[in-house]
Structure formats: structure tokens, C-alpha cells
Amino acid sequence: MERLEIEKSDYTPYVIFDKSKNLLELGGRSLPENAIEFYNPIIGWLIEYSEKPNAKTIFDIKLEYFNTPSSKKILDILTIMEEIQRSGKDVIINWYYDIEDKDMIDAGKEFAEFVELKFNFINS
């Protein structure tokens, strides 16, 4: 599987997905003009990954802010992670947040309520 890397911009997060290094990381600000268009390659990569996932998948989410359309796509991503876990693989979500940003910790906790995944909340 090829590595997926997207550089961050003022409106879009960075993405580093590398199966061989067991690295899944998404971070920055997510305010794309078209969330579906931006997130489609990310979701496509994850669907392909889900067909033959690593025994353990750790997904680091280091978002500073995201808009409502992005939240739907993040939930889609977490649903794929949940499917991987249902296939018998270990999946851990590391949700990074700034201690002063109550909104981001609350958002992570809300996502954790929607999916059956292990979330670690990490003050960064």
C-alpha cells in the first residue's frame, strides 16, 4: 500500500498514513471548502487499508479545530476504524488536545460515544 501524505494548509489538516510504519495521523485545522472532496482520498485509503489492516492500528488525531462538515467525515473515518476492530484487530484512537481547549476534549468524548473504540485522551 502506498503512503498517503497531505500537507496542511490554512483550511485543511495534514495527513500521514503509512501502513508499513503503522502510522496514521491527522492534525491541524479542518475547514475545507468541500469536505467530501478533501476527505474522499483519505476515506478511500482507509477502506483499502481495512481489507488487510495491521494487527494493531493506532490512529493519532491531533486536530486544533474542525467545522461541522469535517465532523461528519471524521465520524466516517472512525466508523471504518470500528469495522477494523470488529474484524478482530486492535484499534486505538489517540485524541490529542490542548488543556485550555475544552471544546476539543468535549468533541473527542462525543466521538467516543458514537463508536465502540478505545480512546486515549492526551494533553499535548
Domain ranges within the chain, ordered by starting residue:
4-123
pLDDT digits (tens, 9 = 90+) for 82-96: 999 999 999 999 999
pTM of the full structure:
0.96
Spatial separation of the C-alpha atoms in residues 104 and 90, rounded to whole Å? 24
Task: Supply 75's cell numbers.
Answer: 465520524
Band the pLDDT of 109: cuts 50, 70, 90.
very high
Predicted local confidence at residue 2, as pLDDT: 96
Of 88, 89, 93, 26, residue with least CA distance to 59: 93
User: Can you name the CATH fold of 4-123?
Assistant: Transcription Regulator spoIIAA (3.30.750)
First-to-last C-alpha distance (Å) of the chain: 30
